[in-house]
Amino acid sequence: MESEEKYLREELNNRINLVYTHSNTMITFITSLFSAVIALVSLFYVNLKEPVVMALLPLIFLLALFVILFSSQKFKENFDRIIDISSYFSCFYNQALSKNNSIDTFNTWEFSLFDLQKNEKKAHRKKLFKMNGEYFFLGMVSFTLMITSFIVAIGFLIGYISASTHALHIFYFVLYIIIAVLVITGSIYILIEVYRNTNLKLFVEKKQKCIKKWLDYAISKKYYTAESIKEKFGDTFFDLLK
C-alpha cells in the first residue's frame, strides 16, 4: 500500500505542477503574440493598409483563441486526474479528524479539505473563480481584439470596394463577411469551451461525484458498508450515498 500511495502522491504532485506550468506557458505565449502584433502594427503601419494584410489580421487573434482552447483542455485533463486521485485518497487513505484519531496515525488532509469546502461552498466557489480566471480573461481579450480588427478590416474594405467597379472585388468582400461571421461564431463556441474546461466551480460537483464513485465501488466490492462509511467519515461522505 505504501508503494501505491507513494506512486499516486508523485503523480498528484506532477499533475499539480503541470497545471501551473501550462498556465504560465499559455500566458507567456499569448502576451508575446500580442506584443508581436503591436510591434508589427507600429513598424509596418503603411503596409497594413493593404487589403490582404488587413483582412488577415483578425486570424492572429483566432490563433490565440485556439492556443487558449488547447491549453484549457490540458488543464481539464490534469485537473480531472487530480480530482480522481484526491478522491481516491479521501476514500481509502483518510479518516474523519476527531479527538480519538491521531493525525500521525490517520491521514486526514484530503477529507478535511473536502469537508471544509462542502461547508463553505459559496465562499470557496468565489475563491476558485478568482484563482483560475486567466484562461477565460485572455480568451475574452483575444475575442475583443479579433472583433475590433474585423470591424477595422471591413471598414477599410468597404472604402476600397467603393472605389472599385470590379465585380470580383464585391464577391470577395461578401465572401469575407461570411467568413468573418463563421469565425466569430466559432470563436464564441471556443470561449464557451474554455469556460467549461477551466471553471473550477464545476469541479466542486465533479469531486463529489468522484468520491461517490469510489464509495459505491468500495461497497460493491464489500470493502465498505454504508454503516462503516458513516462510522469512519461521518455524515460528510455518508450523505453522498443518498
Query: Alpha helix (H) ranges present in the chain?
Result: 2-43, 51-92, 109-119, 121-131, 134-162, 167-198, 201-220, 226-233, 235-238
Cβ count within 10 A of residue 194: 26
Within 13 Å, how many C-alpha atoms sit on residue 202's CB side?
11
Q: Are 138 and 124 in contact (CB under 8 A)?
A: no
Q: Are 16 and 80 in contact (CB under 8 A)?
A: no
- The tens-digit pLDDT sequence of the chain (242 residues) is 567 778 888 888 898 888 888 888 999 999 999 888 887 777 666 555 666 777 788 888 999 999 999 999 999 999 889 888 888 887 887 765 555 555 444 566 666 666 666 665 555 555 555 557 889 999 999 999 999 989 988 888 887 777 766 777 788 888 989 999 999 999 999 999 999 898 877 777 788 888 888 888 888 888 888 888 888 777 777 677 76
Distance CA 234, CA 97 (A): 10
Task: Please state, in angstroms and as integers, the Cα–Cα distance from residue 101 to each residue in 2, 6, 104, 125, following that order.
Answer: 20, 22, 9, 30
φ/ψ of residue 51, rounded to 5: -55, -45
pTM of the model: 0.81
Distance CA 173, CA 83 (A): 49
- Residue 107: DSSP 8-state: B
| Extents of the domains making up the chain | 2-95+107-241
